[in-house]
Amino acid sequence: MNPSILLLDEPLASLDPASAHEALQVFRSLADEGKTVILVEHRVEDAIETKPDRMMYMENGKIKYLGDIKNLPNEIDHKQVKLPAPWVVQRVKTLDIQVEEFNKPKVEEKSDPLVVFENVDFRYDDDLPLILENVNLKIYSGDLIAVLGPNGAGKSTLVKHAIGLLKPTKGRVLVNGKDTREMSVAQIARTLGFVFQSPTHMLYAPSVKEELEFGPKNLGYDSNEIPKFVSESLNAVNLGGFEEYPPLGLSFGQQKRTTIAAVLAMRSKILIMDEPTAGQDFANYTHFMETLCKTSEDAQSVLSANFSATLFITHDIDLAVTYSNRVLLFGDKHIVADGTPEEVLKNINLLKQYRVRPTSLLSLNVDLLPKTKRFLPAESLVQYI
């Protein structure tokens, strides 16, 4: 439409890193041609790439900062907004901030797998091409898996096989040793909770509370216990107080968190989330990722102790760096890399081949790995610099 002002409200959410980078180059060239571009983003590091003339930071409906980028690191709390790793390091050093020790779950001894993909092929229709080809995967107790890969690669298709929503064209998927072809979606839901990529695909109830009660009621849980599950789940995603709100009247980020809470309330053994942090601000997602991904020993909440394994799909590679103990790279219809974050993510050329671009946090972690021996969040890296 060739307008003179472009307002872009989170255009990068759900784009793979290479696509996000290409979109930003387009925005930059439009600005260079004399157009005004206003970009709203949670992905600060990506947004900074466009070399914006000014940055604005809002809190509670008020503009807290509007001006040159170079003063920004001092103005913004790095726990509220995700800043580039070198900025965080600078802040922690200059302001002498105390950093808590970061405990990352270790890879456990392998027991019997909870979910098994055996030579799985899948196509959506007979006359459509294969989306999955010879996929083999075992999910074990203690796994905290991040799945990375290009847009349209088949990541959502893959995880929908684990919950039995899709059945393989060839090969088989086993949940607790049983073929998903012989199980109903409701049966699988006892073992496996699934947060869809799009919140509107899940939300239906008139209130947040009823949305959260639906799953546990259907699974036949004791009705005296359900209110506890509901309030605990809402607190985990910072939505305490929203019980009576209509889910579809919430912001996108709040809707997504409602769907996560709805799945938490079902207390399944395995948690699968399709892009849990898309459209979420940093403080909010840090809160729920820490609650969900902590190991059972240091868990304060019964919630986190409840999951034997967690798998999340993400385009935010820093989420894989920080919270996972296993990374799967998906592309060309199958899993092209499977290992610890340190093994998989240091292979920058392979990542780039699958449209994953290294971030400042990953680069800093790769540089410091000989000293740290494992990947850490930016503020925990300060002691090694």
Ligand X SMILES: Nc1ncnc2c1ncn2[C@@H]1O[C@H](COP(=O)(O)OP(=O)(O)OP(=O)(O)O)[C@@H](O)[C@H]1O
Binding site residues, ligand X, CB under 6 A: 16, 124, 128, 131, 149, 151-157, 197
Amino acid in the structure at residue 369 = L
The interface partner of residue 1, options being ligand X, Mg ion, none and the CB cut-off 5 to 8 Å by kind, is none
- The span from the CA of 215 to the CA of 224, in Å, is 15
The interface partner of residue 157, options being Mg ion, ligand X, none and the CB cut-off 5 to 8 Å by kind, is ligand X
Residue nearer to Mg ion on the CB measure, 198 or 306 = 198
Residue nearer to ligand X on the CB measure, 139 or 329 = 329
Residue nearer to ligand X on the CB measure, 152 or 206 = 152
The interface partner of residue 151, options being ligand X, Mg ion, none and the CB cut-off 5 to 8 Å by kind, is ligand X
Shortest distance, CB of residue 3 to ligand X, whole angstroms?
27
Residue nearer to ligand X on the CB measure, 27 or 196 = 196
Residue nearer to ligand X on the CB measure, 310 or 365 = 310
The contact pattern for Mg ion, residues 179-198, with x = CB under 5 A and - = no contact, is: ------------------x-
The interface partner of residue 153, options being Mg ion, ligand X, none and the CB cut-off 5 to 8 Å by kind, is ligand X
Instruction: State the Cα angle at 242 between 296 and 253, rounded to 5°.
Output: 75
DSSP H or E stretch at residue 28:
helix 17-32
The first and second tokens of residue 353, run together, are: 């081949």
The interface partner of residue 67, options being Mg ion, ligand X, none and the CB cut-off 5 to 8 Å by kind, is none
- List Cβ neighbours of 108 (8 Å cut-off, separation of 6 or more): 140, 141, 142
309: β partners? 270
- The span from the CA of 281 to the CA of 287, in Å, is 10
Residue nearer to Mg ion on the CB measure, 67 or 152 = 152
Shortest distance, CB of residue 272 to ligand X, whole angstroms?
13
The first and second tokens of residue 292, run together, are: 């969900």
The interface partner of residue 204, options being ligand X, Mg ion, none and the CB cut-off 5 to 8 Å by kind, is none
Q: DSSP letter at 157?
A: H
Shortest distance, CB of residue 211 to ligand X, whole angstroms?
23
The first and second tokens of residue 63, run together, are: 């503009």
Shortest distance, CB of residue 155 to Mg ion, whole angstroms?
5
Answer whether 340's CB lies under 8 Å from 353's CB. no
Shortest distance, CB of residue 25 to Mg ion, whole angstroms?
23
Candidate list 141, 156, 231, 353; residue touching Mg ion; CB under 5 A: 156
The interface partner of residue 154, options being Mg ion, ligand X, none and the CB cut-off 5 to 8 Å by kind, is ligand X
Q: Tokens 């990374």 identify what position?
A: 327
Determine how β-strand 115-122 pairs with β-strand 170-175.
Answer: antiparallel
Shortest distance, CB of residue 275 to ligand X, whole angstroms?
7
The interface partner of residue 152, options being Mg ion, ligand X, none and the CB cut-off 5 to 8 Å by kind, is ligand X
Binding segment toward Mg ion, per CB under 5 A, in 41-49, 148-156, 187-195, 363-371: 148-156
DSSP H or E stretch at residue 365:
helix 360-372
Residue nearer to ligand X on the CB measure, 274 or 379 = 274
Residue nearer to ligand X on the CB measure, 152 or 177 = 152
Shortest distance, CB of residue 35 to ligand X, whole angstroms?
27
- How far CA 331 is from CA of 108, 155, 262, 347, in Å, comes to 27, 9, 30, 15
Q: Which long-range contacts (CB under 8 A, 24 or more apart) does 335-342 make?
A: 335/135, 335/136, 335/137, 338/137, 340/107, 341/146, 341/375, 342/369, 342/374, 342/375
- What torsion do the CA atoms of 226, 228, 234, 237 make, to the nearest 10 degrees? -120
Shortest distance, CB of residue 124 to ligand X, whole angstroms?
4
* Interface residue list for Mg ion (CB under 5 A): 156, 197
